[in-house]
Amino acid sequence: MNRAAPTRPRSGALPALLFALCATPAFASPDLDPLAEKGRQIMQAAECTRCHGVTDAAATAGVGRGIAPIERAMNCVTCHQWILGTKGDPAAIARQRQTFPDWDRYLDNIVHFRRLPDLGTLTRRVDPAFVRRFLDAPFDLRPHLDESMIPLRLSADDKDAVVAYLTALNGDAAVKRGRAGEAAVGPERIEAGRQAFLTAGCPTCHVMGAEPLVPGYGPAFFAAMGDRALLAPDLRFVRDRIPRATLVRFIVQPTAVDPRSTMPPLGVSPERAGQIADFLLHAPVKDGPAPQVAIDEAKPLSRQVTWDEVFEEVLGLICVHCHMNPESNDGDGGAGNTGGLGFAGLQLDLETYAGVKRGLVRDGRRVSIVEPPRPGEPPLLLAALLRRHAEAGRDVRPPYSGRRADAAGPDPQRPGMPLGLPPLPPEKVRMIATWLAQGAPGPAGR
Ligand code: HEC
Ligand code: HEC
Ligand code: HEC
Ligand code: HEC
C-alpha cells in the first residue's frame, strides 16, 4: 500500500497535541511483601503499562495492588484505542478533525498496539516459572498478533521480583508449580481429545504448532476472525504453561480461572474438557521450519531512491513512533531517542533528515547510522533492520509455521528494528539499502 503524500504534515507533531490533551490518573498504595513491591516498582520504571494492563482482580475500587495504566499521552494501547474508538461515529470524527485535521489518516494507519494481554491475572492461568523464562527470552506466543514482546534490559534479580509480584497479585489463586498427579495418556485418549477439540470449534481461533488442524484455516481466515482470535495463544505451548487441573477448568469456563479472560465459554462439559486437555498436553507437536526470508541487500535497486520515499514508507510511518524529534513533542523523543520502555535511548531522531544524518549517541559519541562503521560492514540503520529479520524465526511466526528451535530471540543489548513489530518486508529493506548505497540523499537530493 502506498500512502505517499509528500507534502502532508507529519505525524510526530500531531501526537504532541494529543499528548497535551491527556489526563494523569492517580496512584494507589500497595499492600505487598518487599520482593513483590520491588517487582511492582520495576514494572513501573520499565513502563510495562504503556502496553499491558496490570489489573488487580481482587480490587473492588481503583487499581488496588495493580498498576495504573500509564497516561494516554504515553500509552501505546489506550491512545490507539481512543483514536480507533471513533471509527464509525461520524459526529465524533468531525469533532476530532477540528483539532486534528489528519484524524481520518490516523484511522487508516493505526493497526498495531490496540489489544494486548493483561498481566494482572496471568498467573491464575500460567505457571509463574514459565513467565520467568519468558522474561529471559520472549517469543511469539500469539501467532495472530503482529506485535512482539520487547526484550527486557533487566537483571535476573529484577525479573525474579517482577514474577514474584505477578504471582503475589493473585494470592492463593496463582498457579502452583509442578506437574504432580498427571497420569500417562495413551494414543486413543489423545485421538478422542483431538476430535473433541475439532468438534468444539477451538481451531477457529487457535493453532497448535505446525499441526494442520482444519484445511482452509490459514492467516487470511484468522485475520477475518479479527479481535476475537487476535490474542489466542498457540496451544502448542500449553504444556509448558498450564497445569492440567487449571487447564480443564479454563476450557469449561475461562472466567472461572481468569476473570479477565476474553475467551468465550464454549459449553464444553468437564469430561470433554478433560479429553481436550490430554490432547493439548500430550499430542506430539510438529515444529516445522519457519519460513526464512532471503534479503539480497547487497543487490541494490536499479533506480534512484529518494528521501521522501524512505520517509513516507518506512521512517515516518513506523519508526518515528519511538524515534521522534523531541522538539516537536514536548521533549519526548520516544524510547529510541530520549528513552523509555526500559531503554535509556540513543538520541536517535528519525523524524527529520537532519536527525537521521546526526545519527545516534553511544558512549558519549555521535555515531553515523548511514555510513558503514567499518569498510564492508552495513550502516547501523541497515544492520538494525537485518537483525529484526534474524530474530523473526523465533519472534514473529505466521500460524502453522512451527517454531524454529535454532532461531535466536532479540538481544536486549542490540535489539533489531522495528522493536516489537514485524520485520520490514524485504522490498523495503532493499529500498533502504539502495538509498544508503546512493549516499543517503536528503530532501530534493541534498
Ligand atoms: C511495547 C509494548 C510492550 C511493552 C512495553 C511490554 N510488553 Fe510484554 N508483551 C508485549 C506483547 C506484544 C506481548 C504478546 C506477545 C505474544 O503473545 O506473542 C507481550 C507479552 C508479555 C508476556 C507474556 C504473556 C503471556 O500470555 O504469557 C509477559 C509476561 C510480558 N509481556 C511481560 C512484560 C513486562 C514485565 C513488561 C515490562 C517490563 C512488558 N511486558 C512490557 C508488548 C509489550
Ligand atoms: C498520544 C497518542 C499516541 C500514543 C501515546 C502512541 N501512538 Fe502510535 N500512533 C498514534 C497516531 C495518531 C498514529 C497514526 C499516525 C499517522 O497516521 O501519521 C500512530 C501510529 C503508530 C504506528 C504506525 C501504524 C501501525 O499501527 O503500525 C505505530 C507502529 C505506532 N503508532 C506505535 C506506537 C508505540 C510503540 C507507542 C508506544 C510507545 C505509540 N504508538 C504510542 C498515536 C499514538
Ligand atoms: C472465539 C475465539 C476462541 C475460540 C473459539 C477458542 N478460544 Fe481459546 N482463547 C481465545 C483467546 C482470545 C484466548 C486468550 C484469552 C485471554 O488471554 O484471556 C484463549 C486462550 C485459551 C487458552 C489459554 C492458552 C494459554 O497459553 O494461555 C486455552 C488453553 C484455550 N484458549 C483453549 C481453547 C479450547 C480448548 C477451545 C475450544 C473448546 C478454545 N480455546 C476456543 C479465543 C478462543
Ligand atoms: C517500539 C519502539 C521502537 C520502534 C517502533 C523503532 N525503534 Fe529503533 N530503537 C528503539 C530502542 C528502544 C532502541 C535502543 C535504544 C537503546 O539502546 O537505549 C532503538 C535503537 C535503534 C537503532 C540503533 C541500533 C544500534 O546500532 O544499536 C537504530 C538504527 C534504530 N533503532 C532504527 C529504527 C528504525 C529504522 C525503525 C523503524 C523501521 C525503528 N528503529 C523503530 C525503539 C524503537
21 and 96 co-located in one domain: yes
Whether the Cβ atoms of residue 336 and residue 348 lie closer than 8 Å to each other: yes
27 shares its domain with 163 = yes
pLDDT at residue 405 in the model: 65
Distance between Cα 205 and ligand 4 center (Å): 32
- Ligand 2 atom 6: the closest Cα is on which residue? 76
Cβ burial, residue 349 (10 Å; 0-12/13-18/19+): buried
Q: In this structure, which ligand is nearest to the CA of 431?
A: 4
- Considering the domain architecture, whether residues 32 and 153 belong to the same structural domain is answered as yes
Residue-level pLDDT at 178? 66
Pick out the chain residues at pLDDT < 70.
1-30, 178-182, 289-293, 297-298, 404-406, 445-446
Tell me which of 267, 282, 297 is where a domain ends: 282
Judge residue 91's burial from the number of C-beta atoms within 10 Å of its C-beta, 0-12 exposed, 13-18 middle, 19 or more buried: exposed
Give the total number of structural domains in the chain.
3
Q: Of 148, 173, 198, which marks where a domain is finished?
A: 173
438 and 408 part of one domain: yes
Full-model pTM: 0.93
Indicate which residue's Cα is closest to atom 31 of ligand 2: 321
The two beta strands, 360-362 and 365-367, are antiparallel
Pocket of ligand 3 (CB under 6 A): 117, 125-126, 197, 200-202, 204-206, 228-229, 231-233, 235, 237-238, 241, 247, 250-251, 258, 261-264, 266, 268, 276
211 part of a folded domain = yes
State residue 2's pLDDT score: 30
pLDDT at 12: 45
Which three three-digit cell numbers place residue 373? 562503521
Instruction: Provide the grid cell at 146.
Output: 503482529
Contact assessment for residue 11 and residue 316, using Cβ atoms and an 8 Å cutoff:
yes
Residue with cell 500531531: 14
Both 405 and 313 in a single domain? yes
Dihedral over Cα of 294, 300, 303, 304: its sign: positive
**C-alpha of residue 149 to centroid of ligand 1, in Å:** 4
118, 218: one domain: no
Segments forming the whole domain that contains residue 233: 187-282
Give the residue whose CA is nearest to atom 34 of ligand 3. 202
Cα–Cα distance for residue pair 138/411, rounded to 1 Å: 10
Is residue 291 in some structural domain? no
Q: Under a CB-based contact definition with an 8 Å cutoff, are residues 401 and 212 in contact?
A: no
Residue 390's SS3 state is helix
Residue 274 belongs to some domain of the structure: yes
Q: Is the peptide bond before 418 cis (omega within 30 degrees of 0)?
A: yes
Residue 12 phi/psi, 5° resolution? -55, -40
Does residue 59 lie in a domain region?
yes
Are residue 52 and residue 105 in the same domain, yes or no?
A: yes
Angstrom distances, CA of residue 343 to CA of 152, 412, 414: 9, 9, 11
Q: Which of 140, 173, 206 is the last residue of a domain?
A: 173
How many Å apart are CA 175 and CA 190, to the nearest integer?
24
Reference 420, options 310, 336, 331; nearest CA is 336
Phi-psi region of 339 (alpha: psi -120 to 50; beta: other; left: phi over 0): left
Based on the fold, state whether residues 53 and 150 are members of the same structural domain: yes
Tell me, what's the pLDDT at 203? 97
